[in-house]
Amino acid sequence: MTNEPDTDDAPLDPAAMLALSERQQQRIANTAVGPVAWLLAVWGVAWTVGFLVFWSGYAESGSPVLIPLGLAVPVFSACIVAAIVVSAVIGIRMNRGIRGSSNFSGAVYGVSWSIGSIAVWLIGTALIKAGMPHDVAMLFFPAGYALMVGLLYIAGAAIWQDKGQLILGIWITAVGVGATFAGFPTNLFVMAVLGGGGFLAGAIAIPIALRVRRG
């Protein structure tokens, strides 16, 4: 049953009507959730590629391929900036044409990412000014961002009652903590593999979960 009748004014039997209604509601749910898989995929690629390249910029990393730091840093920055731009576009498109009280939650949630990012950056800048050494700063920034991202996913889970976001949030928070204990520059590798990998796993899990629910 793939073709939805559109000109048909006639009813079907009760079972088919019930199925029709449920299929339509499921379809709406899919259009809401589908872009989230893309968001996670974009961040997964950005973290995996960005942090791996960044890590490969340090001779002491043990990376099989060494990339000049002068190249690694811009590549890392480009990955993150591209992910921010793409996710802003996806975020704006997701709710287009739909109004309602949950738009407020969505808008506040969206802005909280910007506030959090800027706050982590400013705190780090202040700590560097206060004498934080380079290697510690290199631990602080990834950890600070991972903590912010993880907690925001947990908050998202609370707002949208979504267990997937809860799992991802706890995972990213744990990666941020674990990466810091791993020390610099291994923390960058941990962020790439476990952090980026976590996003990619989430991106793959969403369509699978949708298909299972569809039956």
**Residue 1: both structure tokens together:** 């049953």
> Taking CB under 8 A as the rule, does residue 102 contact another protein?
yes
User: Binding to another protein by residue 161, rule CB under 8 A?
Assistant: no
Least Cβ distance, residue 100 to another protein (angstroms) = 3
DSSP letter (8 states) at residue 131:
T
CA angle 98, 36, 201 (to 5 degrees): 170
Q: Which is nearer to another protein, 31 or 114 (CB)?
A: 31
Of the ranges 3-11, 50-58, 70-78, 125-133, which one interacts with another protein (CB under 8 A)? 3-11
CB of 4 to another protein, least distance (A): 6
* 2 part of the interface to another protein, by CB under 8 A: no
Q: Please give the residues from 26 up to 45 whose contact with another protein meets the rule CB under 8 A.
A: 27-29, 31
60 binds another protein, rule: CB under 8 A: no
- The verdict on 135 binding another protein (CB under 8 A) reads no
Contact 156, 109 (CB under 8 A): yes
How many residues line the site for another protein (CB under 8 A)? Answer: 31
The type of residue at 188 is L
Distance (Å, whole) CA 52 – CA 72: 9
- Tell me the two tokens of residue 39: 């968001």
CA distances, 128 to each of 49, 131, 133 (Å): 26, 5, 7
Choose, by CB under 8 A, the member of 60, 100, 161, 163 that binds another protein. Answer: 100
How many Å apart are CA 12 and CA 8, to the nearest integer?
A: 10
Nearer to another protein, 17 or 81 (CB): 17
In terms of CB distance, is 70 or 100 closer to another protein? 100
Among residues 1, 2, 6, 163, the one that binds another protein under rule CB under 8 A: 6
| Residue 92 touching another protein (CB under 8 A) | no
Q: Does 64 bind another protein (CB under 8 A)?
A: no
| Rg of the chain (C-alpha set) | 21
List the end-to-end C-alpha distance of the chain, in Å, as a whole number: 13
Residue 143 and residue 125: Cα distance in Å, rounded?
14
Q: Which amino acid is at 5?
A: P
Q: Which residues bind another protein (CB under 8 A)?
A: 4-12, 14-15, 17-18, 20-22, 24-25, 27-29, 31, 96-103, 215
